[in-house]
């Protein structure tokens, strides 16, 4: 039984990646890495420091000089930027609207991917994002590409925001998600794309538990 596998979960915004990745990691006793939170953290810092989001060199230098840490907690994953907690701040409307522009820069991604590879190198990891199966964990034993209709994804984000006490407009959310999907899929540097060896799961009509069960079954197959 090979126990320490790598699991890569990719897909568009609000497909359920982090919910499922976190749950799978808990069930297996693995580490969970939310790579989207890392891109959000550097975007938050760039906005705070008024850096031109088109300036690839400046943003890459900024990242090289920045400590981003992800720490598990009973309330979910906590995100620290230069030792400061930014878990909530990185989910703001401003960061969400700017993150795809920052994540499009090739040299910034190189630095990010280097850090993520280091985090995943010993296995026992579930990592979610956009380029995990295609770039970060290319040899992962299990690769999942998860999606759902844009209506369903917007609805999920809407309900999620409501539960966090944040009022949002469903139509605006749908447009924001569709635009981010387009930017993430059409960029030159490691675009959002399904890896050849990834398993596609359409979660539109599946509950969190149903998706989780499916992935646990696949993980157990890969471990044996």
Interface contacts to ligand CDP, rule CB under 6 A: 11, 13-19, 35-37, 39-40, 99-100, 103, 129-132, 156-157, 160, 180, 184, 203, 206-208, 211
- Which residues make Cβ contacts (< 8 Å) with residue 8, sequence separation at least 6? 127, 128, 132, 133, 136, 137, 140, 142, 143, 144, 195, 198
Task: Write a three-state SS string for 20-69.
Answer: HHHHHHHHHCCEEEEHHHHHHHHHHHHHHCCCCCCCHHHHHHHHHCCCEE
Residue 198 per-residue DSSP state? P
Rounded to a whole number of angstroms, the minimum distance from the CB of residue 64 to ligand CDP is 18
Rounded to a whole number of angstroms, the minimum distance from the CB of residue 190 to ligand CDP is 7
Rounded to a whole number of angstroms, the minimum distance from the CB of residue 37 to ligand CDP is 6
Q: Is 17 annotated as a binding residue?
A: yes
Residue of 137, 121, 125, 158 whose CA lies nearest to 14: 158
Q: Is 41 annotated as a binding residue?
A: no
CB 122 within 8 A of CB 112: no
Residue placing its CB nearer to ligand CDP in the complex, 178 or 223:
178
Length of the chain: 224
Residue placing its CB nearer to ligand CDP in the complex, 184 or 218:
184
Measured CA to CA, the distance from residue 6 to residue 2 in angstroms comes to 11
Q: Is 19 annotated as a binding residue?
A: yes
Residue placing its CB nearer to ligand CDP in the complex, 82 or 186:
186
Residue placing its CB nearer to ligand CDP in the complex, 66 or 223:
66
Rounded to a whole number of angstroms, the minimum distance from the CB of residue 224 to ligand CDP is 26
The residue of the chain with the least Cβ separation from ligand CDP equals 36
Q: Is 198 annotated as a binding residue?
A: no
Q: Is 16 annotated as a binding residue?
A: yes
Rounded to a whole number of angstroms, the minimum distance from the CB of residue 50 to ligand CDP is 20
Residue placing its CB nearer to ligand CDP in the complex, 62 or 206:
206
Measured CA to CA, the distance from residue 174 to residue 133 in angstroms comes to 26
Partner residues linked to 144 by β-bridges? 9, 199
Residue placing its CB nearer to ligand CDP in the complex, 77 or 223:
77
Q: Is 37 annotated as a binding residue?
A: no
Helix (H, G, I), strand (E, B) or coil at 70: strand
Helix (H, G, I), strand (E, B) or coil at 124: coil
Rounded to a whole number of angstroms, the minimum distance from the CB of residue 102 to ligand CDP is 8
Q: Is 195 annotated as a binding residue?
A: no
Extract the annotated binding site: 11-19
**Which positions make up the binding site for ATP?**
11-19
């Amino acid at each position: 039984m090979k126990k320490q596998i790598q699991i890569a979960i990719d897909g568009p915004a609000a497909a359920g990646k982090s919910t499922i990745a976190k749950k799978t990691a808990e069930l297996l006793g693995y580490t969970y890495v939310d790579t989207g939170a890392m891109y959000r953290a550097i975007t938050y810092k760039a906005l705070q420091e008024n850096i031109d989001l088109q300036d690839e060199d400046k943003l890459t230098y900024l990242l090289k000089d920045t400590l981003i840490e992800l720490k598990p907690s009973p309330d979910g994953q906590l995100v620290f930027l230069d030792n400061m907690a930014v878990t909530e701040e990185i989910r703001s409307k401003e960061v969400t609207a700017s993150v795809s522009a920052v994540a499009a820069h090739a040299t910034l991604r190189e630095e990010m991917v280097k850090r993520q590879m280091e985090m995943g190198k010993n296995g026992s990891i579930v990592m979610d994002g956009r380029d995990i199966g295609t770039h970060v964990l290319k040899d992962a034993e299990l690769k999942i590409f998860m999606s759902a209709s844009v209506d369903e994804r917007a609805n999920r984000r809407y309900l999620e925001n409501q539960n966090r006490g944040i009022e949002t407009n469903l139509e605006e959310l749908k447009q924001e998600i569709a635009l981010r999907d387009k930017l993430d899929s059409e960029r030159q540097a490691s675009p959002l794309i399904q890896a050849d060896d990834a398993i596609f799961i359409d979660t539109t009509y599946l509950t969190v538990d149903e998706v989780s069960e499916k992935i646990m079954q696949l993980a157990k197959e890969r471990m044996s």
